[in-house]
A = this chain, B = another copy of it.
Amino acid sequence: MARFPTIEDVAREASVSRQTVSNVLNAPDIVREETRERVRDVIDRLGYHPHASARRLRSQYSSTIAIRMDPITNGISGSILDRFLHDLTARAAERGMRVLLFTATDPADELAQLRALRDGADVDAVVITSTYYGDPRIPWLIDAGMPFVSFGRPWGEEHAESPDHRWVDVDGFAGVLDATRHLIGRGIRRIGFLGWPAGSATGDDRRRGWTTAMREQFDLTDHELELLTVRVEESVPGARMAVEKLLPLRLVDALVCVSDSVALGAMMAVTEAGRRGFPVIGFDNTPVAKAVGLSSVDQRTDEIAATALDLLMGEQGHRVLTADEVTERSAHRLVAPKLIVRRSSHLTVVEEAGSDPGGN
């Protein structure tokens, strides 16, 4: 392989110094216009690209964000993280950042990996996903002074309000509220909620969207709402069996679901029972939802990715901000999801419209 041109080659060819070439690239406004043009021409002609490692070595910025590739493909909803990953990569590129993947076998290993990435000056920041209660990564990252943002709220953690922990999350409450209102708007009254066992922060938050929508329209007690709720584990067959039992009771005329997995189970039960026109709405807008025509609440991963970068680098910046540069107001953000309406929530069978954030 032929040697690539260096900044030195460009400088010589353009009859300027190395530093001037560097300035053309990094601070074009301090270079006289004529010089700038000339240097740019040479850069194009030689096909020069700065050597990333040399730049990183000198500037001490890696312009790289690390994210863990999670092994857990939790049911059918795992693909959200993949969509997020894609969008994060695209958005990061717009800001001159790269995304580096890593994997870990367990939490301890993950911390070791993070330490190595930091010490090797390989990454400027980390994006963490799937946070959980008492997540050890968070104090570690704060302590290590490593900038990070989490996709997921720190439910009930001490750092929830602190700018030390920047986070972005999906407003599950708002999403389910929308979905429920959508069904109410179609004239349905007896809308059930198919959720996870109580106690899951995310699940409870989503259910609150449903209870709020139901209460604002109908006069229901907590007890009545509880009767309209079915709770199952996150699994397709489990949900299917639960709904098979529920349908003959004729208690509800539609179901808002906490996830696409359980919604898929519900749909299968509904189909099998021959109850066409019984609306079901899922949550996550996974490819499966798209494939089977299931209405679902879309997480808008692109919006989340863009927001994560805003939190890390500021609205405009091209550099990762350290924790002490972040103010409380700019450290947390909820992204409102968007209901995608498909056949499963129409009373009449209608194909969805062509343009649809759910994919192609």
Contacts and interface: CB of A to CB of B under 8 A. Distances in A.
Contacts of A264: 288, 291-292
A54 interface: yes
A52 interface: yes
B83 A73 contact: yes
A70 B83 CA distance: 10
A89 B73 contact: no
Contacts of A287: 73, 75-76, 78-79
B119 A102 contact: no
B121 A52 contact: yes
A314 interface: no
A53 B117 CA distance: 11
Interface string A54-93: 1011000010100001111101101100110110011001
A246 interface: no
A295 interface: no
A120 B78 contact: no
Contact of A90 (B54, B85, B103, B261): B103
This protein's copies in its complex:
2
Contact of A53 (B49, B53, B70, B235): B53
A120 B268 contact: no
Contact of A99 (B57, B100, B271): B100
A237 interface: yes
Interface string A316-360: 000000100000000000000000000000000000000000011
B51 A120 contact: yes
A136 interface: no
Contacts of A64: 100
B47 A53 contact: no
A235 B75 contact: no
A359 B73 contact: yes
B47 A51 contact: no
A261 B287 CA distance: 10
Interface residues of A, number: 60
Contacts of A51: 57, 120-121
B360 A72 contact: yes
A235 B52 contact: no
A4 B291 CA distance: 51
B293 A237 contact: yes
Given A288-B288, A291-B235, A1 B101 contact: no
Interface in A203-254: 235-237
A197 interface: no
A102 B94 CA distance: 11
Nearest to A65: B101
A277 to B, nearest CB: 15
Contacts of A290: 75
A98 interface: yes
Contacts of A100: 64, 98-101
Contacts of A76: 76, 287-288, 291
B292 A237 contact: yes
A62 B51 CA distance: 11
Given A52-B122, A100-B100, 7 more contacts: A49-B116, A69-B86, A73-B82, A79-B287, A98-B102, A99-B101, A268-B292
17 contacts: A4-B121, A48-B119, A49-B120, A51-B120, A53-B53, A53-B57, A53-B121, A72-B360, A73-B79, A75-B287, A76-B288, A78-B82, A89-B101, A98-B100, A98-B101, A268-B292, A271-B272
